[in-house]
């Protein structure tokens, strides 16, 4: 039976990387019930204003280099969405790996620390479902040269600091998050609209576990609830297995736009996972992928929908 979620009402929560596509819906939802602090570089002042308009208190900081000693030490929970993908290894490793360690050391008194990693840490396994024990590898090299290695390094630093300071921690390896503000399926829709070929691995179908924002927002208090000083690591995505080919076909049904697939053996291949551990700990996701994708298109590009 899944573990009950923690109570976030009235809690003091730090969210890093809050302006990203994945984190922003979380900030918007959680500011309604909790005391939310949003930490980012805020190089665009409009992003900082948007966070504050949602009700979050903003903290301007660069996890790669800034002194974090000014951060409050009384957060109840920290949720780390921050990720940097400049393509330069020195800076990206400082921001993604060293950064999470410095953040955890400053916030070592939290009840739980939730670090969002990615199923992009895994070595490609063909059509086999991934488990948390599957081999790691440099999966995303073609599109994001530093991404997989930075994510693996960040997990390692996260575990080390959690063990050293006895910080209850969860590492959630996220798989294709999407919602009313975008995501990979929406990117594919825009490529379909412009007639741009979609590169896919020739070993078809290319399966994933897309998770709609409403589902991951609901699961975050459960991910915090399963945190342990030993560090709980789990794959995190939708309970349904869906291929790129399937969601593009459904986008074609909704819009009439036809996907053009192009085989590329260096493209991301299947990264779907065995949901057993996730569902045992935090339960199944609820939003059917057809419903989620239709909501996404209706929200962002209603003019593309067929009458």
Residue 143, φ and ψ in degrees, nearest 5: -95, -40
- pLDDT greater than 90 at residue 260: yes
pLDDT at 13: 98
**253 located within any domain:** no
Q: What is the largest CA-CA distance in the chain?
A: 58
Asked whether residue 157 is assigned to any structural domain, the reply reads yes
- Is residue 296 over pLDDT 80? yes
Range from 54-68, 138-152, 193-207, 209-223 carrying the lowest mean pLDDT: 138-152
Q: Give the per-residue pLDDT at 279.
A: 98
Cβ neighbours for 212, distance < 8 A, ≥ 6 positions apart: 178, 179, 238, 285, 287, 289, 291, 292, 295
Q: What is the pLDDT of residue 253?
A: 98
Tokens of 60: 């301007």
pLDDT value of position 24: 98
As beta bridge partners, residue 243 has 207
Model pLDDT, residue 26? 98
In a domain, residue 173? The reply is yes
**Phi and psi of 217, rounded to 5°?**
-65, -45
Distance from C-alpha of 113 to C-alpha of 109, rounded to nearest angstrom: 10
Report which secondary-structure segment, H or E, holds 212: strand 211-212
Mean pLDDT, all residues of the chain? 97
Q: How far apart are CA 70 and CA 73, in angstroms?
A: 9
pTM: 0.97
Task: For 166-182, write each residue's pLDDT tens digit.
Answer: 999 999 999 999 999 99
Judge whether residue 109 has pLDDT over 90.
yes
Taken in order 167, 170, 173, 177, the sign of the CA dihedral is negative
Report the CATH number at residue 57: 3.40.50.720
CA 153 to CA 35: how far, in whole Å?
A: 30
Residue 190 lies in a domain: no
Tell how far CA 78 is from the center of its chain: 15
Considering the domain boundaries, does residue 266 fall inside one?
A: no
Which residue range forms the structural domain that includes residue 140? 12-181+210-239+274-287
Output the CA angle 295-298-300, nearest 5 degrees: 105
> How do 211-212 and 261-263 pair as beta strands?
unpaired
pLDDT at residue 284 in the model: 98
Question: pLDDT tens digits for 73-107?
Answer: 999 999 999 999 999 999 999 999 999 999 999 99
Over 90: is that where the pLDDT of 143 sits? no
- When pLDDT is averaged across residues 187-206 and rounded to a whole number, the result is 97
Residue 66 in this model has a pLDDT that exceeds 80: yes
pLDDT > 70: what percent of the chain?
Answer: 100
Report d(CA 59, CA 255) in Å as an integer.
41
Which residues, including other chains, have CB under 8 Å from residue 221's CB and lie 6 or more apart?
5, 6, 7, 8
How many DSSP H helices and E strands does the chain contain?
10, 14
Residue 138 maps to a domain: yes
* pLDDT level of residue 142 (50, 70, 90 thresholds): confident
Q: Give 36-65 pLDDT, tens digit per residue.
A: 999 999 999 999 999 999 999 999 999 999
Question: pLDDT above 90 covers what percent of the chain?
Answer: 95
Residue 196 has pLDDT above 80, yes or no: yes
Decide if pLDDT at 1 tops 80.
no
Q: Is residue 295 part of a domain?
A: no
Summarize the confidence of residues 115-138 as an average pLDDT.
96
In a domain, 193, yes or no: no
DSSP strand pairing (169-174 vs 207-208): unpaired
For the chain, the domain total comes to 1
């Amino acid at each position: 039976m899944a573990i009950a979620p923690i109570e976030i009402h009235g809690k003091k929560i730090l969210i890093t990387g809050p302006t990203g596509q994945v984190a922003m819906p979380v900030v918007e939802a959680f500011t309604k019930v909790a005391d939310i602090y949003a930490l980012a570089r805020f190089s665009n002042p409009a992003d900082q204003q948007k966070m504050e308009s949602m009700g979050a208190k903003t903290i301007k900081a660069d996890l790669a280099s800034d002194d974090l000693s000014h951060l409050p030490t009384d957060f109840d929970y920290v949720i780390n969405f921050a990720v940097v993908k400049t393509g330069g290894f020195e800076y990206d490793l400082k921001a993604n790996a060293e950064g999470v360690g410095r953040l955890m050391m400053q916030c070592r008194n939290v009840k739980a620390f939730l670090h969002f990693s990615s199923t992009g840490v895994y070595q490609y396994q063909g059509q086999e479902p991934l488990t948390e024990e599957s081999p790691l590898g440099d999966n995303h090299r073609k599109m994001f040269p530093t991404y997989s290695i930075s994510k693996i390094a960040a997990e390692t630093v996260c575990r080390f600091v959690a063990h050293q300071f006895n910080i209850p921690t969860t590492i959630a390896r996220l798989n294709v998050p999407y919602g009313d503000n975008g995501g990979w399926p929406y990117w594919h829709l825009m490529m379909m609209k412009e007639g741009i070929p979609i590169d896919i691995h020739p070993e078809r179908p290319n399966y994933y576990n897309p998770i709609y924002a409403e589902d991951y927002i609901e699961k975050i208090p459960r991910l915090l609830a399963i945190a342990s000083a030993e560090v709980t690591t789990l794959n995190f995505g939708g309970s349904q297995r869906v291929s790129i080919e399937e969601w593009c076909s459904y986008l074609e049904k909704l819009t009439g736009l036809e996907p053009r697939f192009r085989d590329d053996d260096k493209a991301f291949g299947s990264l779907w996972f065995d949901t057993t551990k996730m569902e045992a700990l935090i339960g199944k996701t609820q939003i059917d992928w057809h419903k989620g994708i239709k909501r996404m298109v209706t929200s962002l590009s209603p003019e593309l929908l067929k009458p």
